[in-house]
Structure 1
């Protein structure tokens, strides 16, 4: 958890912690702070905005953290809407330190699958067990790297491709090479039936390095030693939303700023903006 993409999971947990303590919070995650306290690498990271000298003006713990808070709320809403119908299987791809199984109110017959590397899930299990946290849904951890045969691991855990399902790839795809993203989207299509849904986050910049000196990337490098551009895949991105439409799905593409306006708080565009190319995609597979 103390390096690479694992460290970004702790960054998002710290952002959710700050969001939780805001007076105008968009999402509540009482577990997030315990993840940051359990990892020595982030022991001195702030957990409240009043612990940040520049407050919301700080590009990392202000604006970027608010982005993660907004994203959490929007995807919470997506998942809960999606299981209000017939879908009772939820799959979190690259689940990281997601605590939706413990935070959200799920239908009683729902099952949630969390796919991630064994070390990430073990860290999360240790922290949550220490808190005597109880999930509000039948939760099944699937410890497998998404570069390995995760389909077999998922179906062996009990996933039923013939039943409607809801999928989430939050903060995942831009770490993957283009071919891997296409494979993942194609595989989700093959594993889903009508009435299923998928949400994912994408980045559409033609040249990520053009934003290397943006306030967010600079602050993340200098304040906590995470070089996001070193972790992101820099190759051309596929049109995954378009690929899903070609397979018969409906897909809507939004900027985060759309939801800032909807909720009345969150990041707004600024010059040399590292969030400029971020898109949130919501797709639905129609019934036959």
Structure 2
């Protein structure tokens, strides 16, 4: 295989669709990393962006954006992803250091480099589930950087529409041990039946002491926000039309479902954490973030 053919094959998983959104989040994390008031550090993010032809020209520093933080995409939206990264980093570290979980499952892991950049306790295992093409690209970039994971990392190349439970179990997952689960930027791409199945499955596979964080959108009609600055700028500047990727069905009450199964669950707006950290997006008119919610759930120990 020629170098050109290899490069083409290795980047197929992030060349379009939902895979391309993984590069968007990586670019946002790179921009956040270089901020003087950074909320999260990801030294690998810009390498993902620069390696993929689809994103090679995107900014990885806010100084590369002519209108800087006034840019709806690379300013406000990127800061949203930076805040989300920090909040979910904190959730996972709390779950393993204080909560005692030693298994972490990243559902739709994308270009998440948490296994490499966070400080995990001894004996921690990180299971990363995503499509084969996305993980192949990720491996190529990280291998090229000689990156070393800070925990045992187990990639599981499988689509979440397939038998990911069987693949996870075969990879060594122990349903009898507490687990920290994360579904970051995932559920709003899934049909309602897939979201319900995922929540039910996480409950079934979770021992007492497990924790789950996920992101949902509560808008009754996503198209009401089709002219929002975030959606328009994302489509115009980098060609990603998020509204064609999101599932348009009314969303289930997954937090309520977990409560009915005995979990505790708290639901927050991103703006709650903007106030907590002193930086991040604030509400605005015609706001594509208005319906976004971050949910944190815990399953009590017996």
TM bucket (normalised to shorter chain) is over 0.9
- 1:146 maps onto 2:160 in alignment: yes
What's the offset of the Cα at 1:86? 2.1
Q: Which residue of 2 aligns with 1:242?
A: 256
Aligned equivalents of 1:117, 1:41: Cα separation in 2? 18
What secondary structure, in the 3-state scheme, does the structure 1 residue paired with 2:54 have? helix
Match of 1:218 among 202, 218, 232: 232
TM-score, length-scaled by structure 1: 1.00
What's the offset of the Cα at 1:54? 1.2
Q: Which residue of 1 aligns with 2:144?
A: 130
Aligned equivalents of 1:35, 1:125: Cα separation in 2? 10
Match of 2:273 among 232, 256, 259: 259
Q: Which residue of 1 aligns with 2:192?
A: 178
- 1:24 maps onto 2:37 in alignment: yes
Q: Which residue of 2 aligns with 1:74?
A: 87
Aligned equivalents of 1:24, 1:96: Cα separation in 2? 25
Q: Which residue of 2 aligns with 1:169?
A: 183
Aligned equivalents of 1:4, 1:209: Cα separation in 2? 19
Aligned equivalents of 2:191, 2:172: Cα separation in 1? 28
Deviations 1:170-209 (A, max 9, x none): 0000000111000000000000010000000000000000
What secondary structure, in the 3-state scheme, does the structure 2 residue paired with 1:193 have? coil
Q: Which runs of 5+ in 2 are unaligned?
A: 1-13
Count of paired positions:
288
- 1:109 maps onto 2:123 in alignment: yes
What secondary structure, in the 3-state scheme, does the structure 2 residue paired with 1:167 have? strand
Aligned equivalents of 1:195, 1:122: Cα separation in 2? 32
TM-score, length-scaled by structure 2: 0.95
Match of 2:24 among 11, 27, 41: 11
What secondary structure, in the 3-state scheme, does the structure 2 residue paired with 1:25 have? coil
Aligned equivalents of 1:41, 1:115: Cα separation in 2? 23
Q: Which residue of 2 aligns with 1:53?
A: 66
Deviations 1:11-33 (A, max 9, x none): 00000000000000000000000
Q: Which residue of 2 aligns with 1:41?
A: 54
What secondary structure, in the 3-state scheme, does the structure 1 residue paired with 2:177 have? coil
Deviations 1:44-93 (A, max 9, x none): 11111011111111000000000000000000000000001321000000
Deviations 1:113-148 (A, max 9, x none): 000011110100000000000000000001110000
What secondary structure, in the 3-state scheme, does the structure 2 residue paired with 1:120 have? helix
Aligned equivalents of 1:51, 1:87: Cα separation in 2? 40
CA RMSD, 1 decimal: 0.4
Deviations 1:244-288 (A, max 9, x none): 000000000000000000000000000000000000000000011
What secondary structure, in the 3-state scheme, does the structure 1 residue paired with 2:176 have? coil
